Structures are given as structure tokens and as C-alpha cells.
């Protein structure tokens, strides 16, 4: 359930391939919550940013708690 998980700016999440992502923005737009996030990488030339609805984000990622 969406109310059980809070997506906060700066929080880290892990994907299915064990990549770590950090949340950049959480935006309410036209009745939808958009999550903007970036894949963590040490190479600034390889920075990749993404966005999706919160429902899709929560289906793809879990909170990264071993920070």
C-alpha cells in the first residue's frame, strides 16, 4: 500500500540488479505523484536520471537500508 512507504528526497533505493538509486524530487502533478531519481555512479559522465509515477517506482525498487 502506498501509505505504508514514504519516498523522500535524498532517500536511497535498490533495484532488481542491485543498482542503487537516489530520489531527487517528489512532485505532485495533475493528480499523480512523480518520482525523479538518479542512478548512483562514481563516474559523472555516466549519470542517468529517470522519472515515473510513484506506483511504478514502488513496484521496481525497495528502500536501501544498508547505507
pLDDT band at 65 (very low <50, low <70, confident <90, very high): confident
Report the relative pairing of strands 62-63 and 32-39 from DSSP bridges.
Answer: unpaired
Show the domains of the chain with their CATH numbers: 2-63 (2.40.10)
Q: Dump pLDDT digits (tens) for 8-43.
A: 999 999 998 999 999 999 999 999 999 999 998 777
Length of the chain counted residue by residue: 67
Q: Dump pLDDT digits (tens) for 34-47.
A: 999 999 877 777 78
Amino acid at each position: 500500500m502506498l501509505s505504508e512507504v514514504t519516498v523522500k528526497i535524498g532517500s536511497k533505493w535498490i533495484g532488481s540488479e542491485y543498482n542503487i538509486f537516489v530520489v531527487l524530487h517528489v512532485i505532485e502533478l495533475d493528480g499523480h505523484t512523480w518520482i525523479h531519481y538518479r542512478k548512483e555512479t562514481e563516474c559523472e559522465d555516466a549519470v542517468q536520471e529517470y522519472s515515473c509515477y510513484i506506483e511504478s517506482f514502488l513496484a521496481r525498487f525497495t528502500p536501501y537500508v544498508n547505507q
